[in-house]
Amino acid sequence: MGALTWTWDYFFVPQNQATPDGTGFGVFSAIHLGVLGLLGVGIVALVLAYRHSDAARRVRLRLAVGWTVLMLEVLRQLAYLVTRTYTPDIVPLHLCAFATLAVFVDAVRPNRWTGDFLYALGWWGALAADLFPDWANRPILNIFTWQSFAIHALILGYVAMRLVAGELVPDVRNLWRVAVVAGVGAALGSLANQAWGTNFWFLNAGSPGSPLEPIHALAGPFYIPVLIVAVALVWTLLYLPWVLRGRRRTTAPAR
């Protein structure tokens, strides 16, 4: 952290353009923790507002979040095009880009494909992005920094509000749908990585400062198989409570 951390000089500098050393906010720094706290308050407020809303207002809230995340990504893409700073790594092929589209589609028309995809991969992928941002070397007073924080927080908030409201009920039988979407996304990401030298879906290496980094370091050439096993373990933890809940309901004696 340096004296330049709070300067407005880099407010419009795209994330793929260099800024001087010392301008980044840093992972788990006081600034980062403060931002996480602010986002946490916003997510709780969104969840409570949704939970205490009637059906019509819930539709409006879903659409508001869906359109917001979509426009945040569209405006980001346009900003790179207009400033002529577009590079292959800006192409929306990361997991969270798929989650962004899933939020929008689900907001317009809730369905089993988007619902379970957001539960099985979307929300915790977005949470990990905000906890271990690969944009931590960027200035905090930067519009692209806040776009990244905001869009991931809204993905998390959308899933949380639908879960708490009891509208999103994960079903382990829908995991095949999640696997299909993830497989398509990872395949596209892999092809792009080979063509452009990018790192979509973090298939080539773990994000610096994230738990994926030591996994990649330890697994070496077995990084992808280990990653698949890790995801399977996460899915087990995420879906086991719902499986047990379903069994308790089917075995509960009738009154």
Residue with tokens 């990361």: 94
Under 8 Å between Cβ of 11 and 142: yes
Residue whose C-alpha is closest to residue 69's, from 156, 128, 155, 159: 155
Which pair of tokens denotes residue 162? Answer: 């639908």
Q: What is the pLDDT of residue 38?
A: 98
Identify the pLDDT of residue 1: 43
The whole-number pLDDT of residue 22 equals: 87
The confidence score (pLDDT) of residue 208 equals 87
**What Rg do the C-alpha atoms of the chain give, in angstroms?**
19
Residue 156 burial by Cβ neighbours in a 10 Å radius (0-12, 13-18, 19+): buried
Given this model, what pLDDT does residue 2 score?
45
Query: Average pLDDT of each block of 10 consecutive residues along the chain (255 residues)?
Result: 70 94 92 97 98 98 98 98 97 97 98 97 98 95 98 98 97 96 97 98 92 95 96 97 86 61
Q: Contact 180/45 with Cβ under 8 angstroms?
A: no
Domain ranges of the chain: 18-251
CA–CA dist 49, 226 (Å, integer): 40
